Amino acid sequence: MRASLMLSPGPLALPARNAMSRGARKVAVIGAGNVGATCAFVLAQKNVGEIVMLDIYEGFAKGKALDMSQGGQVLNYDGKITGTKDYRDIAGADVVVVTSGFPRKPGMSREDLVGKNADIISEVGAGIREHAPESVIVMVTNPLDLMTYHMQRVTGFPPERVVGQAGILDSARMTHFIAEELGVSNEDVQAMVLGGHGDTMVPLPRYTTVSGIPITQLMDTETIDAICNRTASGGGEIVKLLEKGSAFYAPGSAAAIMAESILNDRKRSLPCSAYLNGQYGLDDIYIGVPVVLGKNGVEQIIELELEKFELNSLQESAEFYKEQLSGILGY
């Protein structure tokens, strides 16, 4: 006797996955290396919708997309994930995450990458402008603040639709170091880091808390200063340890958090590299500040009340990048 399987349309029917429950959405990740692939993998697990990974090495992008697709059954996510080298495949993307570029090597600063990565961003920006002209761009390529400014100029997009990932990563690093020092959960620590994504970043201990308690009440000044210094050189520490390549789990995950906030219009308040036009006394510069991220990109820039020395540090950080913009990129 031949066995048969009958599916009941009633209560025993399998529940549908919710990948596209909020309507068709699409995110493109430019660069299928470690950072881009991590970003795509995190986004896949959040069931954001269609994901396209683009890389100059098409097989690299296709292979990782296929691998991620097969992981969906294991981790209970769904949605179309594809790899390509053709910019036409990013058409209709709501968000484009840009990770393309040369990574740092031991002994290199982020600024050492300016010339090489500026050329790459010019090419990538042209592709986005032509094929995804309504998208919001999340930049990850280093040197972050300079490349975000460059991307905005290349595409001609409104500044609020080009935003850089840096402050989330820097704050996450500071959070980890604080949690490690105090022996508490990462989940209970909220750190705030402003300024450029580099040695001139500006950690703000006054705005950094553990379950609402400022760390200035939990640690002495010497310990806080050591954590701030380690945060500023956090990427370099990983580069030195890896010897080949740079950090990717935390940067890729941070970019995914930004993309998801935009795709789902979550209005999350996050520290990002945003274009300032008078805020904090700064003009015509991308630098790390708290923003509100929604479907339109940067929907609000939050101006914190800063002490004089904190504001001076932020402005000095911005001035460093101003000099880089004019001296190297010619802006």
Residues designated as active site: 197
Do 174 and 208 form a contact (C-beta atoms < 8 A)?
yes
Which is nearest to 138 in space by CA: 297, 292, 322, 271? Answer: 297
Do 105 and 239 form a contact (C-beta atoms < 8 A)?
yes
User: In this structure, how many other beta carbons lie within 10 angstroms of the beta carbon of residue 241?
Assistant: 9
Q: Is 64 helix (H, G, I), strand (E, B) or coil?
A: helix
H/E stretch holding 313: helix 308-324
- Report how far apart the first and last C-alpha atoms of the chain are (Å, whole number): 79
Return the amino acid letter for 327.
Answer: G
Do 256 and 266 form a contact (C-beta atoms < 8 A)?
no
Q: Which two tokens stand for residue 311?
A: 């504001």
Do 150 and 286 form a contact (C-beta atoms < 8 A)?
no
Sheet containing 189-190, strands listed edge to edge, beginning at the edge strand earlier in sequence: 189-190, 209-210, 213-214
Count the residues in the chain. Answer: 331
The residue with tokens 């430019």 is 30
Cα–Cα distance, 167 to 251 (Å, whole number)? 10
